Amino acid sequence: MSRTKAIFAGLVAGLLGGILMTTAMLLLATLRVATPLVIIGDRLSVFIPPGPFLSLMGKVGGYNHLKQLGVGSTIAGQLLVAAIVGAIFGSFVRRNPSRIPAIWTMSIFVLFPLVAFAIALWPVLGTSYIGLPIEVARLVTLVGFALCVFLFERTLVTGFQFLTTRKIANHDYEFTPAMGRRAFVLGAIGLAAVGGGVALARKLYRAAAFSYDGTQYKGPIVQPITPNDLFYCVTKNVIDPKVNIDLWHLEIGGLVQNPATWRFQDLTGFKPTTQETTLMCISNDLDAGLISNAIWKGVPLRDLLDQAGVISGAARVRLQGVDNYTDTIPLEKAMQPTTLLAYEMNGVPLPDRHGYPLRVIVPGYFGEKHVKWLTRIEVADANAKGFRELTYRNMTLNFH
């Protein structure tokens, strides 16, 4: 088989594989499984200095548009790489396309990407949009990705062999009518997959946080108590979690004598505290509306830390949400009675967008410290850093 014919067949098969793989990722995303489409941005953002990040955000029209651009760029890049990989594959196997060792293709197109994916995205693999424990969420993410790249590998190999059977390969022409017809069949499958992918992308868009991310309070003055549906909202996520309370739990570990795991009903068994606290986004300007008041009900964080028994060397408390967002506060702030693990907001359970089933309330600190969808508390030393603190690359901010 000529090199040109093999490259063409590989490119078509690779592109089809990329389309099916991307469609599978979109399906997983609509099922609230973390995929590269929605977590690569989280991983890359910690390497971008704040100046260029804010500049890029301004150029594309805001954080929502930047997140949409990130997902779109990931999809486009995935399809481009899939087509290129397919073309290279075709060039290498053109002499004997009917005898391609499965162990060879599985190693290159499944095992290698899976290992690279795990290494490159390990810090964000524990992301869950339904409230799975972090280790379980990490496994689910890896299994989902493995299924997607397996689909790509099978489509690439099968599609290439479909286009280059011996009947076609025996022709001396670069392209035969048979190859053209078979390419048309694969193209039709690809178009159907694109249609499915577009439908899934629209569903994902409707489920995404775009409709409320950046919600600002509108009014002549900030109300004494802001209704939940008017309370300002900012999120880093493309899709916000909708936590299944039966899957969720809260872990406490790190520099403690008694690591513990708490279910939601355990937390509601503590003596509750109710308090009014104002939250304000660090990006709030005068009259920007990123500030709101609410009455929060929950458990003082120090009650759980006292039971865990903080040990020597502890200086900060790292707080982690199921969406893999993390931040830290000083231990002395965590031990103040007004630092709450809140499960009610204005007399009702926390709305999903505001952190159901549990979020941190840290009076006097900017909104980014009030971690939503809380699932892990880690008592750590003075070097502990969170998501934004890594993003800012140790840029000093006054959160008091």
Q: What domains lie within the chain, and their CATH numbers?
A: 3-207 (no CATH), 228-391 (3.90.420.10)
Phi-psi region of 254 (alpha: psi -120 to 50; beta: other; left: phi over 0): left
Of the candidates 32, 29, 143, 12, which has an alpha carbon nearest to the alpha carbon of residue 89? 12
Average pLDDT of span 242-267: 96
Two tokens at 334?
Answer: 């965590």
Average pLDDT of span 120-136: 93
Rounded to two decimals, what is the model's pTM? 0.83
What confidence score (pLDDT) does residue 384 get? 86
Average pLDDT of span 291-308: 96
What confidence score (pLDDT) does residue 375 get? 97
Average predicted confidence (pLDDT) for the chain = 87
Average pLDDT of span 348-363: 97
What confidence tier does 389 reach under pLDDT thresholds 50, 70, 90?
Answer: low
What confidence score (pLDDT) does residue 169 get? 46
Q: What does the chain come to in residues? A: 400
Residue with more model confidence, 174 or 15: 15
pLDDT of 207 higher than 90: no
What confidence tier does 188 reach under pLDDT thresholds 50, 70, 90?
Answer: confident
Q: Encode pLDDT of 144-183 as tens digits.
A: 999 999 999 999 999 998 888 754 444 544 445 555 677 7
Contacts 24+ apart (CB under 8 A), 72-80: 74/36, 74/37, 74/40, 74/41, 75/22, 75/37, 78/18, 78/21, 78/22, 78/36, 79/15, 79/18, 79/19, 79/22
Contacts of 148 (CB under 8 A, 6+ apart): 21, 24, 25, 28, 35
Handedness of CA 46, 48, 54, 57 (dihedral sign): negative
Average pLDDT of span 269-280: 94
Phi-psi region of 131 (alpha: psi -120 to 50; beta: other; left: phi over 0): left
In terms of Cβ atoms closer than 10 Å to its own Cβ (0-12, 13-18, 19+), residue 337 is exposed
What confidence tier does 186 reach under pLDDT thresholds 50, 70, 90?
Answer: confident
